Amino acid sequence: MPPINIAKLIKRRDFAPVLNRLVAALGASVIIEDHHGKLLLSTADAVRQTGYPVSVAGEIIGWVNGNEQAGAIAALLCHQAESEFEKRTLAAETLNKYKEITLLYEMVEQVTCCLDTKEIARLVIEQAKRVLELSSVAVLLLDKESGLMELVATHGQELDGTRSIRPGVGIAGSVWSSGRAEIVNDVPADPRAAGSARVSSLMCAPLKAKDQVVGVIKLGSAQPVNYSADDLKLFTTLASLAAVAIENASLYEQLQEAFYTTVYTLAETIEKRDPYTGNHTKRVMEYSLAIGRTMGLDQETMTRLQLGAVLHDVGKIGVRDAVLLKESALTDEEFEQIKRHAVYGEEMISGISRLRTAIPGVRQHHEKFDGRGYPDGLSGEQIDITARVISVADSYDAMTTDRPYRKGLTIDEAFAELRKHAGTQFDATVVDAFFASDVMEAYFIANSRKKILDTID
């Protein structure tokens, strides 16, 4: 492909009239052809006499043939092509810079409001793919427990081998230790690659938060590439943006974890009054989340659901032991007292702003789909979705748990009970979602879970 297309050049709106006027004024007899000899323009009486090349950047892009004036036309075309070429080259460079700016701009917007480290890693990879020549990218983050950098996101296969790295080992390991970004354009020749390299060229940059290296990002190409200092600069800018965002996200995660731990400890303390329910809260939470995922609930609802499920029975703290733990049949008055736990629950959490979203789940978890529940006798969709879900999860767990005075139902029996009351006590859609969820998996997750966090990915 010639650097400038002469056919397009002579048809340009701003140039074609100039060319035509000049041809007419000079009385030139010309035939203009492209470099393949394809006819582009010819005056009426044109005859071939002398051919003048039109060239730009040392390459012939076409010919002007004709009488002696054709030489002047060729010179004009050369000049025009040359200036067009300069303009194009400049424009291409400008556009490249502009792309980098938009990239950083978008990165800042997306990444700074993103509070999930994996998501940030994925965004960084997306952006790097857009502006740098590469076939693989890997983002590794420091795992505080193992003290190693662990792979959190990748693109391409060549860097997949590095699931984790140690300080000082390999190219990424030495970038970690030195804290300085590097270009390695000939990876196989680098002794640190230890012959295992599947990329020909790579760049690696540390992710630094307050002078601490908290991760590394490396990108490579299976085909040899000559990464330049400019590329490295762009790459380290990306890396430092990512580092700030990751630092933010991990602070947020810690806060989040502290919050959930507090909430869970509260729920657990209350649960401990009734020692036979062991792990009930965790299971209700897991069942609820499993149902929510099956139903495709959005993130905000899932968070409310999780909190509601954990806190659904906190109101029991307001019910006397003598009633709460009574093993024989309850009198009507005692049952009325038990029923109050839903309202007590709301009262307890309404003072804590971050827990307020859980109120519907807590207050309404004993409402029934047909309106025969308590405390408000709501029915159908008047009952918040989180409460409809918690109700199924809570009932199923209560049915299947052994009590000192009665054996729990088998799983099949409990399923049959749910099915029987779907549409009356329970929302049938929720019951269906429960059946479609991996209930057993949720059970085991609940029982093996120490921390309450990590459940919402």
Partner 1 sequence: MPKVLIVDDEPFIRLLLEQTLEELEDDGVELITADNGETALEIIRAEAPEMVFLDVMMPKMNGFDVCQAVKNDLGLSEVYIVLLTAKGQEFDKQKGIDVGADIYMTKPFNPDQVLAKTREILGMAP
Binding site for partner 1 (CB under 8 A): 5, 8, 13, 88, 91-92, 94-95, 98-99, 101-102, 105-106, 130
Beta bridge partners of 429: none
Which of partner 1, Fe ion, none does residue 92 bind to, with CB < 5 to 8 Å depending on kind?
partner 1
Select the residue interacting with Fe ion from 313, 367, 384, 397 (CB under 5 A). Answer: 313
- The interface region with Fe ion, picked from 50-58, 235-243, 312-320, 404-412 by CB under 5 A, is 312-320
- The interface region with Fe ion, picked from 46-54, 272-280, 307-315, 445-453 by CB under 5 A, is 307-315
Question: Which DSSP symbol is given to 408?
Answer: P
Q: Which is nearer to Fe ion, 158 or 313 (CB)?
A: 313
What is the C-alpha to C-alpha distance for residues 193 and 385, in angstroms, rounded to an integer? 55
Which of Fe ion, partner 1, none does residue 99 bind to, with CB < 5 to 8 Å depending on kind?
partner 1
Which of partner 1, Fe ion, none does residue 313 bind to, with CB < 5 to 8 Å depending on kind?
Fe ion
Instruction: Spell out the residues 6+ positions from residue 2 whose beta carbon is closer than 8 angstroms to its own.
Output: 35, 56, 59, 60, 61
Token pair, residue 106, equals 């978008």
What is the C-alpha to C-alpha distance for residues 391 and 304, in angstroms, rounded to an integer? 14
CB of 368 to Fe ion, least distance (A): 13
What is the C-alpha R_g of the chain?
36
Task: Determine the residue type at 453.
Answer: L
Per-residue interface string for the shown chain with Fe ion, residues 256-295, x marking contact by CB under 5 A: ----------------------------------------
Rounded alpha-carbon distances, angstroms, from residue 310 to 313, 355, 365, 429: 8, 11, 12, 22
Number of residues that bind Fe ion (CB under 5 A): 1
Give me the residue whose beta carbon is nearest to Fe ion: 313
Rounded alpha-carbon distances, angstroms, from residue 406 to 114, 155, 399: 49, 55, 10
Q: Is there binding between residue 346 and Fe ion (CB under 5 A)?
A: no
Residue position matching structure tokens 């075309």: 77
Q: Which is nearer to partner 1, 91 or 325 (CB)?
A: 91
CB of 106 to partner 1, least distance (A): 7
In DSSP notation, 24-57 reads HHHT--EEEEETT--EEEE-TT----EEEEEEET
- The interface region with Fe ion, picked from 43-51, 309-317, 384-392, 439-447 by CB under 5 A, is 309-317
What is the C-alpha to C-alpha distance for residues 424 and 430, in angstroms, rounded to an integer? 12
Q: Which is nearer to Fe ion, 313 or 367 (CB)?
A: 313
Token pair, residue 25, equals 């004024």
Q: Is there binding between residue 367 and Fe ion (CB under 5 A)?
A: no
CB of 114 to Fe ion, least distance (A): 37
What is the C-alpha to C-alpha distance for residues 177 and 167, in angstroms, rounded to an integer? 6
In 3D space, the residue among 381, 346, 387 whose CA is nearest the CA of residue 367 turns out to be: 387
Residue 238 and residue 100 in contact, taking contact as beta carbons nearer than 8 Å:
no
- Contacts (CB under 5 A) with Fe ion, residues 3-62: none
Q: Which is nearer to partner 1, 60 or 92 (CB)?
A: 92
Residue 452 and residue 261 in contact, taking contact as beta carbons nearer than 8 Å:
yes
CB of 133 to partner 1, least distance (A): 15
Q: Which is nearer to Fe ion, 208 or 363 (CB)?
A: 363
Residue position matching structure tokens 């074609």: 16
Which of partner 1, Fe ion, none does residue 273 bind to, with CB < 5 to 8 Å depending on kind?
none
CB of 16 to partner 1, least distance (A): 12
Which of partner 1, Fe ion, none does residue 100 bind to, with CB < 5 to 8 Å depending on kind?
none
